[in-house]
Structure 1
């Protein structure tokens, strides 16, 4: 009998303890209001975080029957009057603020009467069990670390964690994934019995050792927390920080030159190569090329092979002088270094070509043209000469043209002196000359001398136009000669060679031929007198 009493007592204590723990757990639940006074009429439903809350039915005593469903399954139904609540599995709670049958009211003879018509509704508060959540912030002093720098060999990491959820977290485990980086100081795992809502834990610090990769590499330093809520449901949260660690090798090719020069001034160029990495680089093949509109002052080799130890610099691998050919802004071509690293990795680096060089000065272009290439002896020929400055500096230009010996100037000017402005300033002259000799005549080139304010000077020449001066020969019986002709077939000696014949007027206009005709006339006259005396 005594044993039965003891057993009954123990059983009673256990049951009481279980009920107390359940009640205590229920009391400690942190409810979060999701809907305040949601108005539901008869048969209406509202969805809150996956739960469907429906006003199933009403009665005349101000009671509403509310159901809770999820994924089409009805979980619980309960009657509520204003001020009452019910919950399901410590997950969701419904509280009735107001239940109104909402009868239709009519007034008759000054008195109000309720009809049999009604449209009941309930105003409900809907609450869900709060869930823990974590804001995890991972910080480092820098986003990018250079493995070649001593100061970047250590990576200091700070981790800040706050429970920004809706309830406390229990049995919290925090782990740090360093992405394979060695831990020099600190821990990668922490445990906490609980972290209350809105609580921030003490900052976590650890120091990592920077790696020395062959290529620029991203490392994801991540932090994960696992925890439980008051009902034992598990949660997981993460935070991370991505950092970059730059490669352990680095070859820098630098091309040095003066950024501004004037025409007539040379441009010295030098190329330096520096190995600022942690490993030696052997058999570096360096190649360079010449910028457009310049040429080497003297021959130079623009390809070399050499090696550099870690931290070593090769000064003036290339050193040469360029002569500008015309003004303008130019971008130097890249100097290219090709090599193979000790791990078998082939690489190529180039110099920076973002900097430009500006060459100042005039650039005079002169053109000479004729209005036709075929004409007759005695015809007029129009010559046009244009000088143009396409450079970026004004210049004083003197243009001098020459009339060929086979012609004489009829009208116009053959020279001028004028300041031609930069970027297209020009001057054109036109003159007319008469061609007095047959054949293919090469017109002499026109010359232009120029000088700018920096005393840069020079001379340029135009091309030499070629014209063909022919003589019209009229056969017997053909139409008369055109106006301006000085001879015809009828006037010619039958024994004369038409290919070499010419009128006296033609030869008189040709330098030297008037003298020869006079001498020939004297000799012929003397011969005739001597013959008559005989």
Structure 2
């Protein structure tokens, strides 16, 4: 029996030596920040790197200090974790230091509880673990697993569902986890579903955030990774899902209408409507144009029906004549209707615009020397073939006309 007691004492002594060695090694570890000293009176608390340390209680006061004097600390983290620590100095039964939350080391080097002082107090040293970005990334990768999935490709008038799955791999609870989503241009989220969310994640659980999107135009899109942000023990961590591909099918029809005055005949206006399909599906297109008031169709037609394939361009052209084709004439819009084999359809109109006269260039008069004699010359006769008819110039926007008109009005007011 006595032999067994001796063996147990030897084992306990070895464990104590190993524990003290481990603590000493941690103090010398370069990953630990330099220790900072604090004095805590009974009831005092301090905040260090996201931890709240409070001197909650002390051993019973006596006429003088004894080796069994101790301080009871409570340590709470921002992540709602809490620990209790009983620390003493030069006590064979109670340790003088401890590591909490795997990243805070507290060492007591003085505990005073005598009757001759107003309140008991302790002096402690606190150091925190220096967590590198690599360690932070490793920790979050081993804690939270995330993924993003798109269920199928979609059509231009359909919604497609996207699911973000967050899996907790540890026996830890995370509160107020933020889900931040980013969508590319021309892709809109369902307004009835909040894409960016704040959730709580239970230990060893899976959370799925699902929402739908709709593309404004067909094409190939890349949905960027979703960001998952959480805070644990005062440290913020970020985890990102994979990016996903979204293919949207359908036609994308655009149209442009132009009008130019015939160079050989100023009473003839040539109209052109260019149709382009920028989508990835063919479309049936119906064009119906409106002629200018007072014009007569000279050549071509003002409406047509055609089928246009992806990445192709087609034109409808015609000419009109007018004996009174004036400047600042409004060219009306053309109506475009299109549909595809799936039943998707839409109607839109081209932009209206004005035809303006070309501004006359200023003719600079040659310099005349008054000392020189001016010789009179006979003006040559002007034949019918030499007469230049007025021509219409470039097409300008309505905004240009308004700006020019306001300038003339302002100059007139200033002149008065």
The TM-score, its normalising length taken from structure 2, stands at 0.49
Which protein, 1 or 2, shows the higher relative CO under an 8 Å CA cutoff with sep ≥ 6?
Answer: 2
* Greater C-alpha Rg: 1
The TM-score, its normalising length taken from structure 1, stands at 0.39
